Every structure is written in C-alpha cells, then in structure tokens.
Amino acid sequence: AQSVTQPDIHITVSEGASLELRCNYSYGATPYLFWYVQSPGQGLQLLLKYFSGDTLVQGIKGFEAEFKRSQSSFNLRKPSVHWSDAAEYFCAVGAGYGGSQGNLIFGKGTKLSVKP
Amino acid sequence: DAGVIQSPRHEVTEMGQEVTLRCKPISGHNSLFWYRQTMMRGLELLIYFNNNVPIDDSGMPEDRFSAKMPNASFSTLKIQPSEPRDSAVYFCASSLSRVEQFFGPGTRLTVL
C-alpha cells in the first residue's frame, strides 16, 4: 500500500537559516510527488510537484525538492527561511495517476516555526 | 478564477443534527475530492468523483456520510446524524484529469 512518512512533526529554524523537510514514500511504481503548504486556518497550497524528468524541481516561494529514487525520498529545501514561511507542510504521493485512481496519500505534516 | 469555493466556512451544530457541506470546484475541472483533516488522523480522503461519478468512496467513515455531485459545478457532503467525533475540517479539492489538486479553504465543523 502507498504511504508517506514525514519523520519530523515540528521543526524550528531561525529566520535566514536553511531548511530541509524530510519525506519518505512507499509506492510500487514511479510516484507522482507533491509538497503542499497550509497556513493556519487556510486550505492547502501546492508548492511544487514531481512527475518525471529532472529530479530537482523548483517551486513557488523559493522552495525546491529533490527526488531520490534509491532513498524513496522527496525532501523539501529552502536556502533562507523567511518568517512568513511558518506553516505546516505536507508531502503527498499520487496513487495511480493515469489509471482508475486519482487520490493523493498525504503524510502527517511537519509544522515549521521560524524564530526571529 | 475564484478557486475552489466551500460553504459554510464554519459550522457548529448539535449531535444528531444533519449537516450539509457544499463545494463549487474550479470551472473546467473534472475531478472533485472530499478530505477530512483531524489532529489524530491527519488528512484523509473521503470520496472522489470523476466527471460527476463517484469513483472511490472507501474513505467514507460510515453510512451516516453521503456525498453527491449532481453537476460539474456543485457537490455536497452530508452527515446525518452528526456525532461529536465528526468534528474536523473538511476540505474540497478539484483537479483536471486527476493530476494537480487545488484545495478550497475548508469548512470547520464542530458537533457539540
């Protein structure tokens, strides 16, 4: 069965510091991978996605993620965090795109706090 | 585009009452998803539709939950009767060809 693990429930970084949020997935085929961000009281906004091709993908707000098949990982990175990045981040894998399924399997999320 | 629209944004009701949540997907999108988010279980897919047809409702908790999509621009999620354990944030999302999903702002449901 497909699954997504985000090992870190809560991370605190200082403003201006670099950030890496971890995501590991379990999926039998080539996965479609996503990172979403959720600000308090808001819906989820897509940061970036990986379907195929270049394993380093760029997203909005200066975020990037790298797909590593050998490690079943899709970690999210940002070189310099801003206070406005404080939010909850969700990694997701797309189950069965192109086939009969279309749902996303989400990780439990990582809450990011930013220290001034 | 206005994005995915959900109503109401907040709903407080008493146990046993019927609750109806509404969703208007992005125009032109052909897939619609209902999710529930709780602290304990995270984000869970309840049901999704493709071209107005329910494809997978295996995530619907029990018979008290039902969802409909009478046309391409409207869907409802109904809980009857509601219970305190149904308290959660319910999200609707839509997509084109089941790829990238766009989420609405959610409905925060509190059942007393």
Least confident of A50-64, A94-108, B49-63, B79-93: A94-108
pLDDT classification of A99: cutoffs 50, 70, 90: very low
User: DSSP code of B86?
Assistant: G
pLDDT classification of B78: cutoffs 50, 70, 90: very high
Per the DSSP assignment, residues forming a β-bridge with B33 are: B48, B93
Q: How do residues B42-62 score in pLDDT, each as one tens digit?
A: 899 999 999 999 988 888 988
Residues of chain A contacting B55 with CB distance shorter than 8 Å: 100-102
Q: How far apart are the C-alpha atoms of A97 and A101, rounded to whole Å?
A: 6
**Percentages of chain B per state (helix, strand, coil), in multiples of 5:** 5, 55, 40
Least confident of A69-78, A87-96, A99-108, B32-41: A99-108
CB count in 10 Å sphere of residue B6? 22
Residues of chain B contacting A44 with CB distance shorter than 8 Å: 91, 93, 103
Between chains, do B45 and A103 touch, taking CB under 8 Å as contact?
A: yes
Between chains, do B103 and A106 touch, taking CB under 8 Å as contact?
A: no
Percentage of residues of chain A with pLDDT beyond 90: 72
Residue of A nearest to B47 (CA): A103
pLDDT classification of B69: cutoffs 50, 70, 90: very high
Percentage of residues of chain B with pLDDT beyond 90: 78
Q: What is the mean pLDDT of chain A?
A: 90
Instruction: Return the amino acid letter for A98.
Output: G
Q: Find, among A22, A17, A18, A27, the residue nearest to A5 by Cα.
A: A22
Percentage of residues of chain B with pLDDT beyond 70: 96
Instruction: Return the amino acid letter for B7.
Output: S
Residues of chain B contacting A103 with CB distance shorter than 8 Å: 33, 45, 48, 56
Between chains, do B55 and A44 touch, taking CB under 8 Å as contact?
A: no
